[in-house]
Structure 1
Amino acid sequence: MPVKEEKSTPQGRAVHLTLQGKGGVGKSFVSAVLAQYFLDSGKTTVTCLDTDPVNQTFVNYKALNAEHVKLLEGAQINERNFDALMERLLSEDGVFIVDNGSSSFVPLSNYLIENDAFRMLREAGREVVIHTIVTGGQALLDTLSGFKSLTEQTGAGNVVVWLNEYFGPIEYEGKCFDEMRVYKENSQKVRGIVRIAKRNQDTFGRDVELMASKKLTFSEALSGPEFTIMSKQRIKTVQRDLFSQLAGLAF
Protein backbone atom coordinates (compact mmCIF):
# COMPACT_ATOMS: atom_id res chain seq x y z
CA MET A 1 0.00 0.00 0.00
CA PRO A 2 1.42 3.46 -0.87
CA VAL A 3 2.68 5.54 2.02
CA LYS A 4 0.96 8.87 2.46
CA GLU A 5 3.24 11.89 2.61
CA GLU A 6 3.36 13.72 5.92
CA LYS A 7 5.24 16.62 7.38
CA SER A 8 8.59 15.16 8.36
CA THR A 9 9.92 15.08 11.90
CA PRO A 10 13.48 14.51 13.09
CA GLN A 11 14.44 10.85 12.88
CA GLY A 12 14.33 9.12 16.23
CA ARG A 13 11.69 11.34 17.84
CA ALA A 14 8.45 9.46 17.65
CA VAL A 15 5.61 8.05 19.73
CA HIS A 16 3.97 4.80 18.64
CA LEU A 17 0.76 3.90 20.48
CA THR A 18 -0.90 0.49 20.15
CA LEU A 19 -4.62 1.00 20.69
CA GLN A 20 -7.59 -1.34 20.28
CA GLY A 21 -10.70 -1.72 22.40
CA LYS A 22 -10.90 -5.49 21.94
CA GLY A 23 -8.68 -7.65 24.13
CA GLY A 24 -6.74 -10.73 23.08
CA VAL A 25 -6.12 -9.67 19.48
CA GLY A 26 -2.33 -9.30 19.59
CA LYS A 27 -1.65 -5.74 20.80
CA SER A 28 1.36 -6.68 22.91
CA PHE A 29 2.78 -8.84 20.11
CA VAL A 30 2.49 -5.86 17.75
CA SER A 31 4.17 -3.58 20.30
CA ALA A 32 6.97 -6.11 20.73
CA VAL A 33 7.49 -6.39 16.96
CA LEU A 34 7.64 -2.60 16.68
CA ALA A 35 10.18 -2.32 19.49
CA GLN A 36 12.37 -5.00 17.92
CA TYR A 37 12.17 -3.34 14.51
CA PHE A 38 13.46 -0.02 15.86
CA LEU A 39 16.07 -1.69 18.07
CA ASP A 40 17.28 -3.69 15.09
CA SER A 41 17.89 -0.48 13.15
CA GLY A 42 20.31 0.72 15.83
CA LYS A 43 19.61 4.33 14.85
CA THR A 44 17.81 5.51 17.96
CA THR A 45 17.06 4.72 21.58
CA VAL A 46 13.82 2.81 22.18
CA THR A 47 11.69 3.15 25.32
CA CYS A 48 8.91 0.61 25.87
CA LEU A 49 5.96 1.46 28.12
CA ASP A 50 3.11 -0.83 29.19
CA THR A 51 0.01 1.05 30.33
CA ASP A 52 -2.30 -1.96 30.54
CA PRO A 53 -3.96 -1.81 34.00
CA VAL A 54 -4.96 -5.50 34.01
CA ASN A 55 -2.64 -7.66 31.91
CA GLN A 56 0.88 -6.27 31.68
CA THR A 57 1.99 -8.57 28.86
CA PHE A 58 4.46 -6.14 27.29
CA VAL A 59 6.59 -5.88 30.44
CA ASN A 60 7.10 -9.65 30.34
CA TYR A 61 9.34 -9.24 27.28
CA LYS A 62 12.40 -8.95 29.51
CA ALA A 63 14.77 -8.21 26.63
CA LEU A 64 12.79 -5.07 25.77
CA ASN A 65 13.05 -3.57 29.29
CA ALA A 66 9.47 -2.32 29.18
CA GLU A 67 8.25 -0.22 32.10
CA HIS A 68 4.77 -0.41 33.59
CA VAL A 69 3.02 2.97 33.79
CA LYS A 70 -0.11 3.10 35.93
CA LEU A 71 -2.55 5.43 34.17
CA LEU A 72 -5.85 4.24 35.64
CA GLU A 73 -7.32 4.52 39.12
CA GLY A 74 -10.39 2.33 38.92
CA ALA A 75 -12.06 3.35 35.67
CA GLN A 76 -10.64 6.87 35.65
CA ILE A 77 -7.42 8.28 34.25
CA ASN A 78 -4.93 9.28 36.94
CA GLU A 79 -4.21 12.76 35.63
CA ARG A 80 -0.97 13.17 37.57
CA ASN A 81 0.48 9.94 36.14
CA PHE A 82 -0.73 10.80 32.66
CA ASP A 83 0.84 14.26 32.92
CA ALA A 84 4.13 12.60 33.95
CA LEU A 85 3.92 10.32 30.91
CA MET A 86 3.27 13.27 28.60
CA GLU A 87 6.24 15.08 30.15
CA ARG A 88 8.47 12.19 29.14
CA LEU A 89 7.03 11.93 25.64
CA LEU A 90 7.47 15.66 25.10
CA SER A 91 10.95 16.06 26.57
CA GLU A 92 12.91 12.85 25.99
CA ASP A 93 14.48 11.86 22.69
CA GLY A 94 14.15 8.49 21.02
CA VAL A 95 11.27 6.28 19.96
CA PHE A 96 8.56 5.44 22.47
CA ILE A 97 6.44 2.29 22.07
CA VAL A 98 3.32 2.54 24.26
CA ASP A 99 1.21 -0.59 24.68
CA ASN A 100 -2.28 0.07 26.00
CA GLY A 101 -4.84 -2.40 27.40
CA SER A 102 -8.39 -2.87 26.17
CA SER A 103 -9.87 -1.93 29.55
CA SER A 104 -8.24 1.52 29.42
CA PHE A 105 -8.91 2.08 25.71
CA VAL A 106 -11.96 4.32 26.14
CA PRO A 107 -10.77 6.49 29.06
CA LEU A 108 -7.29 6.90 27.60
CA SER A 109 -8.64 7.76 24.14
CA ASN A 110 -11.01 10.31 25.65
CA TYR A 111 -8.24 11.87 27.72
CA LEU A 112 -5.91 12.13 24.73
CA ILE A 113 -8.64 13.96 22.82
CA GLU A 114 -9.72 16.25 25.67
CA ASN A 115 -6.13 17.34 26.29
CA ASP A 116 -5.29 17.66 22.59
CA ALA A 117 -2.31 15.42 23.29
CA PHE A 118 -1.66 14.41 19.69
CA ARG A 119 -1.37 18.04 18.60
CA MET A 120 0.96 18.83 21.51
CA LEU A 121 3.26 15.96 20.56
CA ARG A 122 3.34 16.91 16.89
CA GLU A 123 4.01 20.58 17.68
CA ALA A 124 6.89 19.43 19.90
CA GLY A 125 8.44 17.69 16.89
CA ARG A 126 7.27 14.18 17.72
CA GLU A 127 5.89 11.95 15.03
CA VAL A 128 2.75 10.29 16.40
CA VAL A 129 1.68 6.93 14.97
CA ILE A 130 -1.35 4.98 16.14
CA HIS A 131 -1.24 1.22 15.59
CA THR A 132 -4.48 -0.74 15.73
CA ILE A 133 -5.27 -4.38 15.07
CA VAL A 134 -8.06 -5.82 12.95
CA THR A 135 -8.41 -9.57 13.31
CA GLY A 136 -10.44 -12.30 11.65
CA GLY A 137 -12.87 -14.64 13.36
CA GLN A 138 -15.30 -13.68 16.12
CA ALA A 139 -13.49 -10.43 16.95
CA LEU A 140 -13.72 -9.04 13.41
CA LEU A 141 -16.65 -6.67 13.96
CA ASP A 142 -15.34 -5.50 17.34
CA THR A 143 -11.90 -4.70 15.93
CA LEU A 144 -13.41 -2.95 12.92
CA SER A 145 -15.40 -0.84 15.36
CA GLY A 146 -12.19 -0.01 17.23
CA PHE A 147 -10.52 0.99 13.97
CA LYS A 148 -13.47 3.26 13.10
CA SER A 149 -13.39 4.86 16.54
CA LEU A 150 -9.68 5.66 16.29
CA THR A 151 -9.86 7.13 12.80
CA GLU A 152 -12.69 9.40 13.92
CA GLN A 153 -10.50 10.71 16.74
CA THR A 154 -7.41 11.57 14.74
CA GLY A 155 -7.13 14.26 12.14
CA ALA A 156 -3.94 13.10 10.48
CA GLY A 157 -3.07 10.14 8.26
CA ASN A 158 -1.15 8.46 11.06
CA VAL A 159 -2.99 5.17 11.64
CA VAL A 160 -1.25 1.88 10.86
CA VAL A 161 -3.61 -1.09 10.61
CA TRP A 162 -2.27 -4.52 11.48
CA LEU A 163 -4.35 -7.24 9.82
CA ASN A 164 -3.99 -10.26 12.10
CA GLU A 165 -5.14 -13.34 10.20
CA TYR A 166 -4.25 -15.73 13.03
CA PHE A 167 -7.90 -16.19 14.01
CA GLY A 168 -9.18 -16.44 10.45
CA PRO A 169 -9.54 -14.51 7.20
CA ILE A 170 -10.38 -10.82 7.47
CA GLU A 171 -13.48 -10.81 5.30
CA TYR A 172 -17.00 -9.50 5.77
CA GLU A 173 -19.89 -10.05 3.36
CA GLY A 174 -17.43 -11.25 0.73
CA LYS A 175 -15.16 -8.19 1.02
CA CYS A 176 -11.58 -8.00 2.25
CA PHE A 177 -10.48 -5.13 4.49
CA ASP A 178 -9.56 -2.57 1.84
CA GLU A 179 -12.91 -3.19 0.10
CA MET A 180 -15.00 -2.61 3.24
CA ARG A 181 -16.98 0.56 3.65
CA VAL A 182 -15.39 1.32 7.04
CA TYR A 183 -11.96 1.38 5.41
CA LYS A 184 -12.99 3.35 2.33
CA GLU A 185 -14.62 6.04 4.47
CA ASN A 186 -11.48 6.40 6.60
CA SER A 187 -8.67 5.49 4.19
CA GLN A 188 -7.27 9.04 4.25
CA LYS A 189 -6.44 8.49 7.93
CA VAL A 190 -4.47 5.30 7.22
CA ARG A 191 -0.72 5.60 6.79
CA GLY A 192 -0.24 1.95 5.92
CA ILE A 193 -1.22 -1.66 6.49
CA VAL A 194 0.87 -4.47 7.98
CA ARG A 195 -0.38 -8.00 7.37
CA ILE A 196 0.30 -10.75 9.89
CA ALA A 197 -0.25 -13.56 7.43
CA LYS A 198 -2.03 -16.78 8.26
CA ARG A 199 0.50 -19.57 7.81
CA ASN A 200 0.52 -23.32 8.38
CA GLN A 201 -0.80 -23.66 11.92
CA ASP A 202 1.14 -26.86 12.64
CA THR A 203 4.50 -25.29 11.78
CA PHE A 204 4.64 -21.49 11.55
CA GLY A 205 1.66 -21.01 13.84
CA ARG A 206 3.01 -23.26 16.56
CA ASP A 207 6.49 -21.73 16.43
CA VAL A 208 5.28 -18.12 16.62
CA GLU A 209 2.73 -18.99 19.31
CA LEU A 210 5.44 -20.62 21.43
CA MET A 211 7.74 -17.64 20.95
CA ALA A 212 4.95 -15.23 21.94
CA SER A 213 3.84 -17.33 24.92
CA LYS A 214 7.40 -17.35 26.29
CA LYS A 215 7.67 -13.60 25.61
CA LEU A 216 10.82 -14.08 23.58
CA THR A 217 12.12 -11.63 21.02
CA PHE A 218 13.04 -12.84 17.55
CA SER A 219 16.73 -12.62 18.48
CA GLU A 220 16.24 -14.70 21.62
CA ALA A 221 14.27 -17.34 19.73
CA LEU A 222 16.85 -17.51 16.95
CA SER A 223 19.84 -17.76 19.29
CA GLY A 224 18.37 -19.88 22.08
CA PRO A 225 17.92 -23.64 22.53
CA GLU A 226 14.10 -23.70 22.59
CA PHE A 227 13.67 -24.08 18.82
CA THR A 228 14.96 -26.49 16.18
CA ILE A 229 16.84 -25.37 13.09
CA MET A 230 13.70 -25.52 10.93
CA SER A 231 11.62 -23.72 13.56
CA LYS A 232 14.23 -20.96 13.63
CA GLN A 233 14.05 -20.72 9.85
CA ARG A 234 10.28 -20.25 10.01
CA ILE A 235 10.60 -17.61 12.76
CA LYS A 236 13.20 -15.80 10.68
CA THR A 237 10.79 -15.83 7.74
CA VAL A 238 8.08 -14.18 9.86
CA GLN A 239 10.53 -11.60 11.19
CA ARG A 240 11.79 -10.76 7.72
CA ASP A 241 8.25 -10.37 6.40
CA LEU A 242 7.07 -8.06 9.20
CA PHE A 243 10.25 -5.95 9.26
CA SER A 244 10.08 -5.55 5.49
CA GLN A 245 6.50 -4.28 5.70
CA LEU A 246 7.45 -1.82 8.46
CA ALA A 247 10.41 -0.58 6.43
CA GLY A 248 7.96 0.22 3.64
CA LEU A 249 6.16 2.67 5.96
CA ALA A 250 9.32 4.81 6.22
CA PHE A 251 9.08 5.75 9.89
Structure 2
Amino acid sequence: MAAEKIAVEKVEKAAAVKQTPSAVHFTLQGKGGVGKSLVSALLAQYFGSVGADVKCIDTDPVNQTLMNYKALNAQHVKLMEGSKIDERNFDSLMERLLSEDGIYVVDNGASSFVPLSNYLIENNAIGMLQEAGRDVFIHCVVTGGQALLDTLSGFKALAEQTHTNNIVVWLNEFFGAIEHNGKAFNEMKAYTENASKVRGIVRIAKRNQDTFGRDIEEMASRKLTFCEVLGGSDFTIMAKQRIKTVQKDIFAQLDEVGF
Protein backbone atom coordinates (compact mmCIF):
# COMPACT_ATOMS: atom_id res chain seq x y z
CA MET A 1 0.00 0.00 0.00
CA ALA A 2 2.84 2.38 0.85
CA ALA A 3 4.41 1.86 -2.58
CA GLU A 4 1.06 2.50 -4.27
CA LYS A 5 0.57 5.71 -2.27
CA ILE A 6 4.02 6.98 -3.26
CA ALA A 7 3.31 6.16 -6.92
CA VAL A 8 0.01 8.08 -6.81
CA GLU A 9 1.65 11.08 -5.13
CA LYS A 10 4.38 11.11 -7.77
CA VAL A 11 1.83 11.10 -10.59
CA GLU A 12 -0.10 13.92 -8.91
CA LYS A 13 3.07 16.00 -8.53
CA ALA A 14 4.02 15.39 -12.15
CA ALA A 15 0.57 16.48 -13.29
CA ALA A 16 0.82 19.65 -11.21
CA VAL A 17 4.20 20.53 -12.69
CA LYS A 18 2.94 19.94 -16.24
CA GLN A 19 0.12 22.40 -15.65
CA THR A 20 2.78 25.12 -15.54
CA PRO A 21 4.38 25.28 -19.01
CA SER A 22 7.28 27.33 -17.75
CA ALA A 23 8.66 28.63 -14.47
CA VAL A 24 11.87 30.40 -13.53
CA HIS A 25 13.67 29.85 -10.24
CA PHE A 26 16.39 32.38 -9.40
CA THR A 27 18.79 31.55 -6.57
CA LEU A 28 20.03 34.86 -5.18
CA GLN A 29 22.14 35.76 -2.14
CA GLY A 30 24.93 38.30 -1.73
CA LYS A 31 27.03 36.15 0.61
CA GLY A 32 29.28 33.52 -0.93
CA GLY A 33 29.79 29.98 0.32
CA VAL A 34 26.38 29.58 1.96
CA GLY A 35 24.92 26.85 -0.27
CA LYS A 36 23.31 28.66 -3.22
CA SER A 37 24.50 26.13 -5.76
CA LEU A 38 23.45 23.28 -3.48
CA VAL A 39 19.95 24.78 -3.34
CA SER A 40 19.89 25.10 -7.14
CA ALA A 41 20.98 21.49 -7.48
CA LEU A 42 18.29 20.34 -5.02
CA LEU A 43 15.63 22.26 -6.96
CA ALA A 44 16.72 20.76 -10.26
CA GLN A 45 16.59 17.27 -8.79
CA TYR A 46 13.20 17.87 -7.21
CA PHE A 47 11.58 18.94 -10.46
CA GLY A 48 13.46 16.26 -12.39
CA SER A 49 12.07 13.60 -10.04
CA VAL A 50 8.56 14.21 -11.36
CA GLY A 51 9.55 14.27 -15.01
CA ALA A 52 9.67 18.03 -15.57
CA ASP A 53 11.80 19.48 -18.35
CA VAL A 54 14.48 21.09 -16.17
CA LYS A 55 17.04 23.49 -17.62
CA CYS A 56 19.87 24.64 -15.36
CA ILE A 57 21.68 27.94 -15.94
CA ASP A 58 24.87 28.86 -14.07
CA THR A 59 25.58 32.60 -14.17
CA ASP A 60 28.29 32.71 -11.50
CA PRO A 61 31.17 34.76 -12.98
CA VAL A 62 33.77 33.27 -10.62
CA ASN A 63 32.85 29.73 -9.53
CA GLN A 64 30.54 27.75 -11.78
CA THR A 65 29.64 25.22 -9.08
CA LEU A 66 26.35 24.13 -10.61
CA MET A 67 28.22 23.32 -13.82
CA ASN A 68 30.19 20.70 -11.88
CA TYR A 69 27.02 18.64 -11.35
CA LYS A 70 27.49 16.70 -14.58
CA ALA A 71 24.13 14.94 -14.28
CA LEU A 72 22.30 18.29 -14.32
CA ASN A 73 23.76 19.44 -17.66
CA ALA A 74 23.93 23.08 -16.56
CA GLN A 75 24.80 25.73 -19.12
CA HIS A 76 27.05 28.66 -18.24
CA VAL A 77 25.80 32.09 -19.26
CA LYS A 78 28.23 34.97 -18.82
CA LEU A 79 26.13 37.82 -17.47
CA MET A 80 28.96 39.99 -16.12
CA GLU A 81 31.51 42.10 -17.98
CA GLY A 82 33.82 43.27 -15.25
CA SER A 83 31.61 44.69 -12.51
CA LYS A 84 28.68 45.43 -14.82
CA ILE A 85 25.91 43.38 -16.35
CA ASP A 86 26.54 42.39 -19.95
CA GLU A 87 23.24 43.66 -21.30
CA ARG A 88 23.38 41.67 -24.53
CA ASN A 89 23.93 38.37 -22.74
CA PHE A 90 21.24 39.20 -20.22
CA ASP A 91 18.84 40.08 -23.01
CA SER A 92 19.63 36.77 -24.69
CA LEU A 93 18.91 34.90 -21.47
CA MET A 94 15.63 36.79 -21.04
CA GLU A 95 14.69 35.96 -24.63
CA ARG A 96 15.16 32.29 -23.83
CA LEU A 97 13.26 32.45 -20.54
CA LEU A 98 10.38 34.25 -22.26
CA SER A 99 10.13 32.03 -25.32
CA GLU A 100 11.11 28.49 -24.28
CA ASP A 101 8.95 26.31 -22.07
CA GLY A 102 10.46 24.38 -19.19
CA ILE A 103 11.44 24.69 -15.55
CA TYR A 104 14.49 26.96 -15.40
CA VAL A 105 16.83 26.98 -12.40
CA VAL A 106 19.17 29.99 -12.57
CA ASP A 107 22.11 29.90 -10.13
CA ASN A 108 23.73 33.26 -9.48
CA GLY A 109 27.08 34.07 -7.86
CA ALA A 110 27.66 36.31 -4.85
CA SER A 111 29.78 38.78 -6.82
CA SER A 112 26.96 39.42 -9.30
CA PHE A 113 24.19 39.54 -6.69
CA VAL A 114 23.86 43.33 -6.51
CA PRO A 115 24.15 44.16 -10.24
CA LEU A 116 21.90 41.27 -11.29
CA SER A 117 19.28 42.06 -8.64
CA ASN A 118 19.28 45.70 -9.67
CA TYR A 119 19.03 44.79 -13.35
CA LEU A 120 16.10 42.46 -12.74
CA ILE A 121 14.28 45.22 -10.89
CA GLU A 122 15.19 48.15 -13.16
CA ASN A 123 14.11 46.27 -16.28
CA ASN A 124 11.00 44.80 -14.67
CA ALA A 125 12.29 41.40 -15.77
CA ILE A 126 10.19 39.52 -13.23
CA GLY A 127 7.04 41.33 -14.36
CA MET A 128 7.82 40.55 -17.99
CA LEU A 129 8.23 36.86 -17.22
CA GLN A 130 4.99 36.78 -15.27
CA GLU A 131 3.11 38.56 -18.06
CA ALA A 132 4.43 35.90 -20.44
CA GLY A 133 2.80 33.23 -18.27
CA ARG A 134 5.93 32.21 -16.38
CA ASP A 135 5.81 31.68 -12.63
CA VAL A 136 8.87 33.32 -11.06
CA PHE A 137 10.39 32.28 -7.74
CA ILE A 138 13.33 33.76 -5.89
CA HIS A 139 15.24 31.39 -3.62
CA CYS A 140 17.32 32.99 -0.89
CA VAL A 141 19.64 31.16 1.53
CA VAL A 142 19.91 32.20 5.17
CA THR A 143 22.58 30.38 7.11
CA GLY A 144 23.66 30.10 10.74
CA GLY A 145 27.05 30.91 12.20
CA GLN A 146 29.19 33.87 11.20
CA ALA A 147 27.29 34.50 7.98
CA LEU A 148 23.89 34.84 9.68
CA LEU A 149 23.70 38.64 9.68
CA ASP A 150 25.09 38.91 6.14
CA THR A 151 22.56 36.42 4.75
CA LEU A 152 19.73 38.08 6.68
CA SER A 153 20.77 41.36 5.09
CA GLY A 154 20.70 39.73 1.65
CA PHE A 155 17.21 38.36 2.25
CA LYS A 156 15.99 41.73 3.56
CA ALA A 157 17.36 43.55 0.50
CA LEU A 158 15.65 41.13 -1.89
CA ALA A 159 12.33 41.25 -0.05
CA GLU A 160 12.27 45.05 0.09
CA GLN A 161 13.24 45.56 -3.54
CA THR A 162 11.09 42.95 -5.28
CA HIS A 163 7.35 43.13 -5.84
CA THR A 164 6.66 39.44 -5.52
CA ASN A 165 5.32 37.10 -2.86
CA ASN A 166 7.19 34.13 -4.33
CA ILE A 167 10.37 34.25 -2.23
CA VAL A 168 11.42 30.86 -0.87
CA VAL A 169 13.79 31.05 2.09
CA TRP A 170 16.22 28.20 2.60
CA LEU A 171 17.43 27.91 6.20
CA ASN A 172 20.81 26.20 5.96
CA GLU A 173 21.81 25.00 9.43
CA PHE A 174 25.08 23.44 8.30
CA PHE A 175 27.13 26.25 9.90
CA GLY A 176 25.01 26.49 13.03
CA ALA A 177 21.57 27.25 14.42
CA ILE A 178 19.72 30.12 12.76
CA GLU A 179 18.91 32.28 15.76
CA HIS A 180 19.87 35.73 16.97
CA ASN A 181 19.33 37.26 20.39
CA GLY A 182 17.20 34.29 21.32
CA LYS A 183 14.93 34.61 18.29
CA ALA A 184 14.30 32.03 15.57
CA PHE A 185 14.16 33.16 11.94
CA ASN A 186 10.39 33.56 11.87
CA GLU A 187 10.64 35.88 14.89
CA MET A 188 13.35 38.11 13.47
CA LYS A 189 12.51 41.61 12.24
CA ALA A 190 13.91 40.89 8.78
CA TYR A 191 11.29 38.18 8.37
CA THR A 192 8.30 39.65 10.22
CA GLU A 193 8.47 42.86 8.16
CA ASN A 194 8.57 40.89 4.89
CA ALA A 195 6.57 37.77 5.71
CA SER A 196 3.92 38.58 3.10
CA LYS A 197 6.52 38.17 0.35
CA VAL A 198 7.64 34.71 1.48
CA ARG A 199 6.05 31.79 -0.39
CA GLY A 200 7.60 29.18 1.86
CA ILE A 201 10.52 28.15 4.02
CA VAL A 202 12.72 25.08 3.46
CA ARG A 203 14.96 23.93 6.28
CA ILE A 204 18.21 22.11 5.59
CA ALA A 205 18.52 20.61 9.05
CA LYS A 206 21.81 20.13 10.82
CA ARG A 207 22.14 16.42 11.52
CA ASN A 208 24.71 14.17 13.19
CA GLN A 209 27.99 15.35 11.70
CA ASP A 210 29.67 11.94 12.03
CA THR A 211 27.01 10.20 9.93
CA PHE A 212 24.55 12.36 8.01
CA GLY A 213 26.93 15.31 7.90
CA ARG A 214 29.81 13.31 6.50
CA ASP A 215 27.64 11.58 3.88
CA ILE A 216 26.02 14.78 2.64
CA GLU A 217 29.34 16.62 2.63
CA GLU A 218 30.92 13.90 0.48
CA MET A 219 27.95 13.91 -1.87
CA ALA A 220 28.10 17.70 -2.20
CA SER A 221 31.89 17.87 -2.59
CA ARG A 222 31.76 15.29 -5.38
CA LYS A 223 28.82 17.14 -6.98
CA LEU A 224 26.68 14.02 -7.11
CA THR A 225 22.89 13.90 -7.35
CA PHE A 226 20.64 11.75 -5.18
CA CYS A 227 20.04 9.40 -8.10
CA GLU A 228 23.77 8.94 -8.69
CA VAL A 229 24.40 8.14 -5.03
CA LEU A 230 21.42 5.84 -4.56
CA GLY A 231 22.00 4.03 -7.85
CA GLY A 232 25.77 3.72 -7.51
CA SER A 233 28.14 1.59 -5.48
CA ASP A 234 30.43 4.24 -3.93
CA PHE A 235 28.33 4.68 -0.78
CA THR A 236 27.49 2.07 1.84
CA ILE A 237 23.95 0.80 2.36
CA MET A 238 23.54 2.84 5.55
CA ALA A 239 25.01 5.96 3.95
CA LYS A 240 22.48 5.60 1.12
CA GLN A 241 19.68 5.25 3.65
CA ARG A 242 20.74 8.46 5.40
CA ILE A 243 20.99 10.33 2.11
CA LYS A 244 17.57 9.01 1.07
CA THR A 245 16.18 10.33 4.37
CA VAL A 246 17.55 13.80 3.59
CA GLN A 247 16.12 13.65 0.07
CA LYS A 248 12.64 12.74 1.33
CA ASP A 249 12.77 15.53 3.90
CA ILE A 250 13.78 18.24 1.41
CA PHE A 251 11.37 17.07 -1.30
CA ALA A 252 8.48 16.90 1.21
CA GLN A 253 9.15 20.49 2.25
CA LEU A 254 9.20 21.59 -1.39
CA ASP A 255 5.87 19.84 -1.84
CA GLU A 256 4.54 22.02 0.98
CA VAL A 257 5.81 25.20 -0.70
CA GLY A 258 3.70 24.29 -3.73
CA PHE A 259 4.96 25.22 -7.17
* Paired position in structure 2 for 1:5: none
For residues 136 and 236 of structure 1, what CA distance do their matches in structure 2 show? 24
- Give the letter for the 1:33 counterpart: L
Structure 2 SS opposite 1:155:
coil
- Give the letter for the 1:176 counterpart: A
For residues 192 and 21 of structure 2, what CA distance do their matches in structure 1 show? 31
Contact 1:10–1:125 (Cα < 8 Å) also in 2 = no
Percent identity, please: 72
Matched, 1:38 2:44: no
Match of 1:94 among 80, 91, 102: 102
Structure 2 SS opposite 1:248:
helix
* Paired position in structure 2 for 1:73: 81
Per-residue deviation, 1:10: 4.7
* Paired position in structure 1 for 2:121: 113
* Paired position in structure 2 for 1:6: none
Matching of residues 177-192 of structure 1 within 5 Å:
177-192=185-200
- Give the letter for the 1:38 counterpart: F
Matched, 1:131 2:121: no
Matched, 1:204 2:212: yes
Matched, 1:222 2:238: no
Greater percentage in helix: 2
Matched, 1:16 2:32: no
For residues 90 and 77 of structure 1, what CA distance do their matches in structure 2 show? 19
Deviations 1:194-236 (A, max 9, x none): 0000100010000000000000000001111221000000000
* Paired position in structure 2 for 1:4: none
Deviations 1:93-139 (A, max 9, x none): 01000000000000101111110101000000000000000000000
* Paired position in structure 1 for 2:12: none
For residues 234 and 158 of structure 2, what CA distance do their matches in structure 1 show? 38
* Paired position in structure 1 for 2:55: 47
For residues 92 and 153 of structure 2, what CA distance do their matches in structure 1 show? 30
* Paired position in structure 1 for 2:92: 84
Matched, 1:245 2:253: yes
* Paired position in structure 2 for 1:148: 156
Matched, 1:63 2:46: no
Query: How high is the TM-score relative to the length of structure 2?
Result: 0.92
Per-residue deviation, 1:12: 3.6
Structure 1 SS opposite 2:206:
coil
For residues 21 and 83 of structure 2, what CA distance do their matches in structure 1 show? 33
* Paired position in structure 2 for 1:3: none
- Give the letter for the 1:75 counterpart: S
Per-residue deviation, 1:155: 1.2
Per-residue deviation, 1:156: 1.8
Structure 1 SS opposite 2:23:
strand
Contact 1:12–1:45 (Cα < 8 Å) also in 2 = no
- Extract unaligned runs of 5+ from structure 2: 1-17
Deviations 1:64-113 (A, max 9, x none): 00000000010010000000000000000010000000000001011111
- Give the letter for the 1:11 counterpart: T
For residues 77 and 155 of structure 1, what CA distance do their matches in structure 2 show? 21
Per-residue deviation, 1:154: 1.3
Query: How high is the TM-score relative to the length of structure 1?
Result: 0.95
For residues 109 and 154 of structure 1, what CA distance do their matches in structure 2 show? 9
- Extract unaligned runs of 5+ from structure 1: 1-8
Match of 2:38 among 13, 29, 34: 29
Per-residue deviation, 1:16: 0.2
